[in-house]
Chain A
Amino acid sequence: MLENPEMAEDERILATPTLIKSLPLPLRRVIGDLSDKDKVLLGLEVQPKPLKSADNGVAS
């Protein structure tokens, strides 16, 4: 960021650190040091792998 502020400008980033998930859509951002694991997973829309994973995580 400090070396390349243009990139922060283009991506409209305010906070550091910021993790950007650009693919698959939708775009998601996770701000912070990722210490809160649940929030990270929620932010990235990633579900913990169910034991028997046939469905794609709709079930909770």
Chain B
Amino acid sequence: MNDGANNLAVEKIATGISSFDIIAKGGLPRNRTTLISGTAGSGKTIFAVQFLAAGIELGFPGVFVTFEESASDIRKNMRSFGWDLAKWEAEGLLAFVDASPDPEIDSVESGGFDLGALLARVKHAVKKVKAERVAVDSLGAVFSQFSDQSIVRSELFRIASALKSIGVTAVLTAERTDDYGHIARFGVEEFIADNVMILRNVLEDESRRRTIEILKFRGCDHQKGEYPFTIVPDGGVIVIPLSAMQLSMKSSNVRISSGNEQLDAMCGGGLFRDSVTLVSGATGTGKTLTVTQFLQGGAKNGERCLLLAFEESRDQLFRNATGWGFDFEEMEAAGMLRVVCDYPDVSGLEDWLVTIQATIREFKPQRVALDSLSALEHVGTAKAFREFVIGLTSFIKHEEITGLFTSTTASLMGGDSITETHISTLTDSIILLRYVEMFGDMRRGLTVLKMRGSWHDKAIREFTIDKGGMKMGRPFRNVTGILAGAPVHVSPGDVERAWSQLDKDSEIPRRDSGSPAVGEDGADIERRRIFPPASD
């Protein structure tokens, strides 16, 4: 193929479509045609219009050739996305070539024909608005307007080549019958196959999941595989580029308070800024309290906090906070707190991610708490959920926000949840809250399981909840098997023997034993101040 004097690599143009340019590694190849194939309702027309709308916003006029919906329908339908096509037409930035079937016109074919008139109209429109971008929607509809398919096929090929030669970048949509099957109906990919993209709208476990895949970009690079995307009002297609987002994550050593001095000490001095902490526990173990403390701690330091609550109503949350001695209403009135309360099922996970990102961009919080991830787990498939968590964690880290997510374990005693197995590797810190059964009492235990890049307390400490929040007590030294969900009591003599053996092996001075340490130093005094001996 002759690309003229251009012997450089294929140039790309930034489409301006949110995040699409990331997965396309720069955008669509310039002066080429790209086939967008998808099933009914997969978002082809929206993508095609958005390609033009984003171009017009960047200062590149466009032409829309429609074979399916009439121009007036498209103008009306695209209003909801915030694109005023009629205004752009009046300003000479957009031109329609309306080749949609007109029910008023009855026509018959009598012998050979070509689509020369259509090509002349397209060329004329391109010239009229000095278009840089052309969208054609959709190729399949051309076939249904004429009975002689071989003529249509060769004529479409002629139009596609003509678009290339007049120096516009074009997207052409095509239908497919299956989300996983032939690329497009009528084999259109065979003649317009420089670049092929596929939009999917797959039904999985009763919920729809949209993905976009770049199948090929002839002569240039792109991200591979399916990427989830969503279509939102006032924005159109928003691609969620998972792998691309993770690359630019930063990491800082600044510590911030979890809102509880004792918990900070257990974490080795507080949580890291731009880290994500997972708090896992059975129902009633104190997850929402941890969240409340975290928000209170932020507001006290003059940090804006965002709470995404999917389990409890606003009133409940505020009442709980009051019970623990925190005033959410005052924090909210001071503009330090925003609470987003909603049923998790009101929208899909991709939509949630986009909504949450938009809220974060607008409110600019320094802390984000989500209570709970488990409530969102059932909204989509396991894969969609994992993508949601990846998307959210990388986004909040990128924005240098501290995140605290909760997850509910299914069993009361010990055990882990599907949520954890899916996301534990994505979070920087994990705090476990567990019930511990002791001689007919349910006690609560807390341990810092993981704290990426930091020393942390390895003990499982008992804690109590009263007005004022969480109070840490002594470690459960004579109980073993708490995390496994089967606590076994060990006699104090056995505990001493086991520990002396461990200390000898590791040569690390033993800390936090029930008996006072022999030569107390400053650190021990500080430790005793933070963790006063339990008063029971």
Contacts and interface: CB of A to CB of B under 8 A. Distances in A.
Nearest to A37: B110
A32 B109 contact: yes
Interface residues of B, number: 26
Interface residues of A, number: 29
B382 interface: no
Contacts of B123: 5
Given A1-B120, A14-B145, A9 B97 contact: yes
Given A5-B124, A6-B124, A9-B97, A16 B113 contact: yes
Contacts of B104: 27
Interface in A21-59: 26-37, 39-40, 42-43
Contact of B113 (A6, A28, A31, A40): A31
Contacts of A29: 105-108
A39 B109 contact: yes
B116 A30 contact: no
- Interface residues of chain B: helix, strand, loop or mixed (majority): mixed
B106 A28 contact: yes
Contacts, number: 98
A33 B112 contact: yes
Given A5-B123, A9-B124, A35 B117 contact: no
Contacts of B124: 5-6, 9
A31 B121 contact: no
A7 B349 CA distance: 49
Contacts of B125: 9
A36 B111 CA distance: 6
Given A2-B116, A5-B121, A12-B102, A33 B107 contact: no
B117 A32 contact: no
Given A12-B99, A12-B102, A14-B145, A31 B116 contact: no
The residue among B117, B120, B123 with the most chain A CB atoms within 10 A of its own CB is B117
Given A5-B124, A9-B121, A14-B99, A34 B110 contact: yes
Interface in B86-135: 97-99, 102, 104-118, 120-121, 123-125
Nearest to B123: A5
B343 interface: no
The residue among A30, A37, A40 with the most chain B CB atoms within 10 A of its own CB is A30
Contact of B112 (A1, A35, A37): A35
Contacts of B110: 30-37, 39-40, 43
A15 B118 contact: yes
B111 A34 contact: yes
Contacts of A27: 104-106
A8 B109 contact: no
Contact of A12 (B105, B109, B111, B114): B105
Contacts of A6: 124
